[in-house]
Chain A
Amino acid sequence: MALGLLSLVLYIQLFHFDAELREITLATNQGHKSYFLVPIGIAFLFSLVHGAFTDRFWDVLGVKARK
């Protein structure tokens, strides 16, 4: 539950900063490399939180692997 909420908050932030993220990438493409690691950091953060959430999600629904 907590993981789901955290994941939701992250996605709300993603949409909130839509314009800024676009600007950062455009700036990197034009030669300003200061923030090039931002997308990679975001990818890691989202996958850890959302990955842990989705793992639990199916388990709770009873979809489990054969042992």
Chain B
Amino acid sequence: MEAINFIDLNATTVLLLFVVGFIGGMVSGFIGSGGAFVLTPAMMSLGVPGIVAVASNMAHKFPKALVGAIKRAKFGQVDVKLGIVMGLFAEAGVFVGKEIMTTIRTAHGNVGTDFYVSIIFVVVLGIVGTIVMRDALRSRHRNGVQQGTDIPRLARWAQSINIPGTMMSFKSMKGARVSLLIVAPLGFATGLLAASIAVGGFIGVPAMMYVLGVPALMASATELVVAFVMGMGGSLFYAWEGFVDIRLAMIILAGSLFGIQIGAIGTTYVKEHMVKLVMGMIMLIVLVSRLLKLPVYLTSLGMISPLPTYIIRALDNASSAALAIALIIGAGAILISLVRGMALHQKRHATLPSATVD
């Protein structure tokens, strides 16, 4: 089997990983997932093989998710029961996903996993990013009157299905009961995706929102519990295979733990549609970044006729630029929301008697 390529650490790499970790953490704390969807491609851009990038991200993610979940549980946003149930089914998905990855690596080497990871990114981000963005724009136009209280049509249907012996109630669905047979595949798909691209939340959060009817803020907070449960299992699987580069994982963690706190605090100052808007926006830009890399991987795999070097270089640069734009926009949107929210809150405190302020 091809030997793993563990990159050398120098000041630039460390600083880059720290900054990307910080921004990734901020996004992760804000939308409940997604730190790794920025981090996996960023690590790959530094020369880390796809499988090592995914494995190392999982190893930094599960303890980070625990820290984030505890923080948001203090804000009353976490449904622990739903998180654990989905997390356990996600574990099975992670196992299958990891098997797929190692099989591809054995057959096609590191470039094979790079290509696979990128394809999954493009497909998932294309579908989920469009849905989330459309919903965010719609709920903004609804003027915020019923935000967080209207249940999507699909969720109403899912909650109306009664399969005796499998029904469970969750506090995030305001006491509504839903069959475990509906929760299980959602958890499994979340885990499968997490083991493939290290970001299960792209399925987990929208699934909770649109299929189960969980409000966006609670879905993004509960996803942190799912991420912890499945992330720990996934990390154990990958650590057993020797794919976790703990040096990289811990440098990212250094930055992302600063970021996740800011992101989590930010959620307490914004409206639901803002979380969706930031999520959708970042997803669609990262999609472009990965899409631009596909021809490069196809060339390396010999699946298309070789591209001239200058085109490969141009595609590489454009991909990195798109990723940087996603990071800057995401971080900017979160910070602006936080600063505005804090300023407004302080202003209200200053003008109203303290008993009437939320």
Q: How far is the CA of A67 from the CA of B358 in the complex (A)?
A: 7
- Could you tell me if A11 and B254 are in contact, using CB atoms closer than 8 angstroms? yes
Rounded to whole Å, the gap between the CB of B106 and the closest CB of chain A is: 13
**With A27-B242, A29-B242 as given contacts, are A18 and B247 in contact (CB-CB < 8 Å)?**
yes
- Could you tell me if A51 and B241 are in contact, using CB atoms closer than 8 angstroms? no
Q: How far is the CA of A53 from the CA of B67 in the complex (A)?
A: 11
Please indicate the chain A residues that have their CB under 8 angstroms from the CB of B151 in the complex.
none
Task: Choose from B62, B242, B253, B269 the contact partner of A25 (Cβ within 8 Å).
Answer: B242
**In the complex, per-residue mask of B325-358: 1 if CB is within 8 Å of any chain A CB, else 0:** 0000000000000100110010000000000001
- Could you tell me if A39 and B253 are in contact, using CB atoms closer than 8 angstroms? no
B71 (CB) vs chain A CBs: closest residue:
A55
**Which of B60, B74, B251, B253 has the most chain A CB atoms inside 10 A of its CB?**
B253
Is B75 interfacial (CB 8 A cutoff)?
Answer: yes
Rounded to whole Å, the gap between the CB of A5 and the closest CB of chain B is: 14
**In the complex, per-residue mask of B195-235: 1 if CB is within 8 Å of any chain A CB, else 0:** 00000000000000000000000000000000000001001
Question: Which A34-67 residues have C-beta < 8 A from chain B?
Answer: 36-40, 42-44, 46-48, 50-51, 53-55, 57-58, 63-67
Q: How far is the CA of A2 from the CA of B249 in the complex (A)?
A: 23
Q: How far is the CA of A43 from the CA of B260 in the complex (A)?
A: 16
Total A-B Cβ pairs within 8 A: 114
**With A39-B59, A51-B63 as given contacts, are A15 and B249 in contact (CB-CB < 8 Å)?**
no
B344 (CB) vs chain A CBs: closest residue:
A66
Q: How far is the CA of A36 from the CA of B74 in the complex (A)?
A: 34
Rounded to whole Å, the gap between the CB of A59 and the closest CB of chain B is: 9
Is B244 interfacial (CB 8 A cutoff)?
Answer: yes
- Could you tell me if A36 and B239 are in contact, using CB atoms closer than 8 angstroms? yes
Please indicate the chain B residues that have their CB under 8 angstroms from the CB of A40 in the complex.
59, 232, 235-236, 239
Is B182 interfacial (CB 8 A cutoff)?
Answer: no
Task: Choose from B246, B342, B345 the contact partner of A21 (Cβ within 8 Å).
Answer: B246
Sorting the interface of chain A by its residue count into under 10, 10 to 19, 20 to 34 or 35 or more gives 35 or more
**With A27-B242, A66-B358 as given contacts, are A47 and B265 in contact (CB-CB < 8 Å)?**
no
Q: How far is the CA of A15 from the CA of B248 in the complex (A)?
A: 11
Q: How far is the CA of A21 from the CA of B235 in the complex (A)?
A: 16
Question: Which B247-261 residues have C-beta < 8 A from chain A?
Answer: 247, 249-251, 253-254, 257-258, 260-261
Please indicate the chain B residues that have their CB under 8 angstroms from the CB of A6 in the complex.
none
- Could you tell me if B261 and A55 are in contact, using CB atoms closer than 8 angstroms? yes
**In the complex, per-residue mask of B104-139: 1 if CB is within 8 Å of any chain A CB, else 0:** 000000000000000000000000000000000000
Q: How far is the CA of A24 from the CA of B71 in the complex (A)?
A: 33
A-B contact pairs, 23 of them (CB 8 A): A11-B254, A15-B9, A22-B245, A25-B243, A25-B245, A26-B242, A28-B239, A36-B240, A37-B239, A39-B249, A40-B59, A43-B60, A43-B235, A47-B63, A51-B63, A51-B66, A54-B67, A54-B258, A54-B260, A65-B74, A65-B75, A66-B269, A66-B358
